[in-house]
Structure formats: C-alpha cells, structure tokens
Amino acid sequence: MNQPATKMPSDTSPHPLDTHVGQKLRQRRLMLNLTQEKLAGLLGLTFQQVQKYERGQNRVSASRLYEIARALRVPVAYFFEDTPDLAGIAGFAEPGQEPLEDAPAPGDYNSRETAELLRAYFRIEDSKKRKRVLDLIRAMSDEK
C-alpha cells in the first residue's frame, strides 16, 4: 500500500489559514488596544469564543468575519493579507526544506511590543516624519 510522502495535519489541528486569520484578528485587536472581553461585547460573543478564533481553534464563518472586520474597522481582505503559502507550512512542504534565513519567529508579529510599536507609529500624523522613523528603523536593523 502506498504511503503519502508527507504527513497532513490531523483533523484536530487548526488549518494554517484559520491560524493566520486568528493571528490577524489578534494583531488588529491589540493595535486598537481592545481586550478580548471588549471585542466579544461588540460582537455579542464570549471572550472564550474570541480566544478560540484567535488561536484558530474555531473557524470564523463568512458572516462572522464580516462582523469582526466592521468592529475592527478593516476590510475583510485584511485577514488574508500576507497569507502564508501553504506549500511552505509543515505538513504541506517537501521534506527537508530549510526555513528562510531571516524569517521572523511565528509569534514576532503578534507580540504586545509589536502592537505598541504600530500604535505609536500610526499616531505620527506627519507622513514625512513616519517615513523618517521607518528609515531609522531600517538603518538600525541593517535592512536594505
């Protein structure tokens, strides 16, 4: 009997796209400085349900995603920005692939520090000043 070359995630594992949508939800919630409880109240949910969405444990229906997008003041497409290439996710990749050298750790974009940095950055009203801040950060991180 033929065995598949790669092991697919189990039925109990969240789908990578559900995890991504949940991370984007959490990222935006933190950017707006909302607690899970506050967002849940806006949506008529429990904070536990918001928590499950953020972890990718529960899938978000299309109508619920629309409501979440309105509450967080973003288009629905926001949740699919930077969608991971499923071929590069464990379980979908060819065996033996090495991660990208400069790839950030999975939690880097979802940290409280990142949310604070984004909030402070977007409070700078002058676009020229924002660009100078970005240039400074790039210079300090040796990014070209």
In this prediction, residue 102 carries a pLDDT of 56
> What gap in Å lies between CA 37 and CA 119, rounded to an integer?
20
- The CATH label, of 3.40.710.10, 3.40.50.1370, 1.10.10.10, 1.10.260.40, for the domain at 9-94 is 1.10.260.40
pLDDT tens digits for 10-27?
Answer: 567 888 889 999 999 999
Q: Residue 18 in contact with residue 84, Cβ under 8 Å?
A: no
pLDDT tens digits for 56-87?
Answer: 999 999 999 999 999 999 999 999 888 776 54
Q: What is the SS3 assignment for 42?
A: helix
In this prediction, residue 4 carries a pLDDT of 43
pLDDT tens digits for 39-64?
Answer: 999 999 999 999 999 999 999 999 99
In this prediction, residue 100 carries a pLDDT of 52
The DSSP call for residue 124 is -
Where do the domains of the chain lie?
9-94, 111-144
Q: Is the per-residue pLDDT at 124 higher than 80?
A: yes
Q: Residue 51 in contact with residue 137, Cβ under 8 Å?
A: no
